[in-house]
Amino acid sequence: MFYTHSWSRYTSTTALLCALVTSPALLILTPKTSFAYEQTMTCSNSAGAMFPCGANESPLPVCWSERSINYVINSAGSDDLRMDDGSPLSLALEEAVQGAFAAWTGPECSNISITYNGTTEDNRVGYFKDGKDTNLIIWQEEWPYADTSAYALTSVTFSASDGSISDADIELNGEFFTWSTKEIPGPNEVDLRNTLTHEIGHFIGFDHSSLPEATMFASAPLGETSKRTLAEDDLDGVCAVYTPQEESGCGNCSQSTTGSPTLPWSFLLVLSLLYSQRRKRKHT
């Protein structure tokens, strides 16, 4: 099972989509590299890149400029995680979501704060300039994408000019997978905290790590729980990007020696395969 990326670029913003998929065919697209944590970049200087840097454009690291962020959960919850009385949003579900965010906000070496702001009936995914935009966590019980093997899809909208994120939404595949908040999930279940902790890494601007033990590593089997907590590589990333010395912006991430300033060829190949699915979504 692999996490893959698909991009769509529009005028001043770029939408990054990250999915956990189960297709073994993508294994050949993931070569070994010497890189550890990776940041999403606004463009790429790599030959054949889908979104090459323009004449006056350089790759910039993507992150939240603000250090205090809110998110909401769609009130429909998950069909797999309802309460005994049939209520759609169980306490266990909320606690699992909050625990996944806490994995990234808990380290004292970083200053990013991501706060649960309750539930919403809004089911819109994407960035909207209507004053009602939210960073949304939502289960899609009728999965709207062609790739039915995806566990989840994370959409990040950021400025192509400075890399600042303006919106992030996580969609979870409730139609083709069974979700679990149990301490030990079943062998055919998807552990919610495990998947969300990885997806939240994308939510705050990280791509995949080349280290198998990292939360941001590009594969995860059913029933896995090891990504609930951050590995040293993930901690290195969040501490470098969201350093307490910086009250806003992307910290010293552009000078980081552990990250890569461009996207590896494997991701670009996958991006080109999945791009056509997402062109219809427009972010302004």
CATH code (residue 82): 3.40.390.10
**What size, in residues, is the chain?**
284
Is residue 24 within 8 A of residue 241, CB to CB? The reply is no
How many domains are there within the chain?
1
3-state secondary structure 119-155: EECCCCCCCCCCCCCCCEEEEECCCCCCCCCCCEEEE
Q: How far apart are CA 52 and CA 46, in angstroms?
A: 7
| In a domain? residue 230 | yes
| In a domain? residue 231 | yes
Tell how strand 13-21 and strand 152-159 pair up.
antiparallel
pLDDT of the residue at 259: 38
pLDDT of the residue at 7: 35
Identify the domain containing residue 115 by its residue range: 2-278
Phi-psi label, residue 11: left if phi above 0, alpha if psi -120 to 50, beta otherwise: left
pLDDT of the residue at 250: 63
**Residue 150 — φ and ψ, nearest 5°?**
-80, 130
pLDDT of the residue at 77: 95
pLDDT of the residue at 185: 95
| In a domain? residue 284 | no
**Token pair in block for residue 278:** 């997402």
Q: How far apart are CA 4 and CA 7, in angstroms?
A: 10
| In a domain? residue 48 | yes
| pTM, full prediction | 0.78
| In a domain? residue 283 | no
Residue among 129, 276, 136 at smallest CA distance from 199: 136
Per-residue pLDDT of the chain (284 residues; tens, 9 = 90+): 333 333 333 223 334 444 444 433 322 233 333 347 888 888 888 877 766 888 888 888 999 999 999 999 999 999 999 887 777 889 999 999 999 999 999 999 999 999 999 999 999 998 887 778 899 999 999 999 988 888 899 998 888 888 899 999 999 999 999 999 999 999 899 999 999 999 999 999 998 898 999 999 887 899 999 999 999 999 999 999 998 765 666 654 443 333 333 333 333 333 333 332 222 222 22
Query: What's the sign of the alpha-carbon dihedral 117, 118, 120, 123?
Result: positive
